[in-house]
Amino acid sequence: MLLAEFDFTDWWIRPFSDRWWQETVCSMLVGVTCGVLGCYVVLRRMALIGDALSHAVLPGVVIAFLITRDTGVFGLLAGALLAGLLTAVLVGAVSRLSRTKEDSSIGIVFTALFAIGIILVSALPRGLHFDLSCFLFGDPLAVDTADLVLMTVICPLVLGIIFMLYHPLRASSFDPVVAAAMGIPVIALHYLLMGMLSATVVAGLKTTGVILVVALIITPASSAYLLTNRLGTMMVLSGIFGGFSAVAGMTLSFVTNWPSGATMVVFAATIFTLVLLLSPTQGLLTRWLQRRRIRRHIQGEDILKTLYRCITSNAQVGEHAYSIERIYPAARVTRRQGERIVSELEHEGLLFRQDSNIGLTEKGTERAIEMVRSHRLWESYLTTHAGVSADEVHEQAEELEHVHDLADKIDQDLGHPEHDPHGEAIPRPPKTTD
């Protein structure tokens, strides 16, 4: 019955109404600007001061409201900018003039200014009403043409300044000391960045509110940071993530009647979660798979080494093969792990199966000799240079032996020893002559 009464046509058409376009354009402008500007906030480790600015602009906005008696963004912008710059100056002054660290200074200043703003709101004269909830959480329904016009001015202006000052901002973000030595006005750029942050907070005032706008500044930039090491690419990706989160959040908000600001932030957080899991270099899943591949590689080398030792030390079993049931425990792998690894080694042409036995191919024998040689050289090195006793050196060499790229250097440093501390012969490299 409920399904029959649901108007799917209205559900699809409603988001694309005139108001949806107006509010979505506003949100997209804010999202893109926040994403691009957030790159510098993240690189400068200014996330906390970004949060501070979003709260500290309240007294400036309220004072501007008292003067103009209007909640339009034109009147609130100047107050927010002055409050933002005042916050930056006070944070720096408290840090310089006392033993208070910068993070504590930020906490002191922004909470004090935010509290002053709340007092001013409560002390407004009769007849004047300032919607504090709209300020904190946003209200896209309150967006009008004047707001859209201002956003189309502020957002491109902020983006234009960022791109015009790309090189000075990049230099001062990565190494402010070197940038200052090059003649770049680092302090002036810092306060310019604070001013642009304040302006962006005001631009996002009605769409997301001051509490959630900091999420659009930090989260898209953090997502992009996990995907690239190039600032230009990071800014492009962050702007795309911010703009998409704003548009998708606003659309879903119209369909479900959820709070628009919160919905935007949820989309931004979802993108960050996916990137955190799936990033080609920094993703948790990627790193887990990489560690898994490394662990299986090490286990495969352990099986080759163990098989070589068994074949060369036990003539009763056979000249070329050894029981697979005895290899797995000796190599410290389970049967399930061993079967999978043995199949991979067989596919690589490193070993062969012979009934219930496995043996080394010529290629596998060379790889196994490399491992045995690396192990015994590491034992000799640790005993000679690290002072590890011969009775305790085996376990440490078991971990280091897989770094066999250093075997030749260790061999040279030790003067080409013929035996390890236990008297075992150290094999010569395959296909070489003494």
Q: String of b and e for 190-227 (b: at least 16 CB within 10 Å)?
A: bebbbbbbbbbbbbbbbbbbbbbbbbbbbbbbbbbbbb
Tokens of 45: 């480790």
Q: What is the pLDDT of residue 276?
A: 92
- Tally of CB atoms within 10 A around 296: 15
User: Cα–Cα distance between 222 and 202 in angstroms, integer?
Assistant: 22
Q: What is the pLDDT of residue 298?
A: 83
Q: What is the pLDDT of residue 39?
A: 93
pLDDT string in tens for the chain (434-residue length):
445 554 555 554 455 455 667 777 878 888 899 999 999 988 888 777 777 777 777 888 788 777 776 655 566 667 777 887 788 788 878 877 877 777 788 888 888 888 888 888 777 776 666 655 666 666 665 666 666 777 788 888 999 999 999 999 999 988 888 888 888 998 888 888 888 887 787 777 767 776 678 888 899 999 999 999 899 999 999 999 999 998 898 888 878 878 777 888 899 999 999 999 988 888 888 888 888 888 888 888 888 888 888 777 754 444 566 677 777 787 778 878 888 888 888 888 888 887 777 888 888 888 888 888 888 888 888 888 877 777 777 778 777 777 777 788 888 888 888 888 888 888 877 654 44
Q: What is the pLDDT of residue 376?
A: 84
Tokens 């590689």 identify what position? Answer: 297
Close Cβ partners of 331 (under 8 Å, ≥ 6 residues apart) = 299, 302, 303, 305, 306, 338
User: Cα–Cα distance between 137 and 116 in angstroms, integer?
Assistant: 19
Q: What is the pLDDT of residue 324?
A: 73
* Cβ contact 251:263 at 8 Å: no
Helix, coil or strand: residue 406: helix
Q: What is the pLDDT of residue 339?
A: 82
Q: H-helix or E-strand containing 357?
A: strand 357-360
pTM: 0.73
Report all structural domains of the chain as residue ranges with CATH numbers, in order of start.
Answer: 16-216 (1.10.3470.10), 286-360 (1.10.10.10)
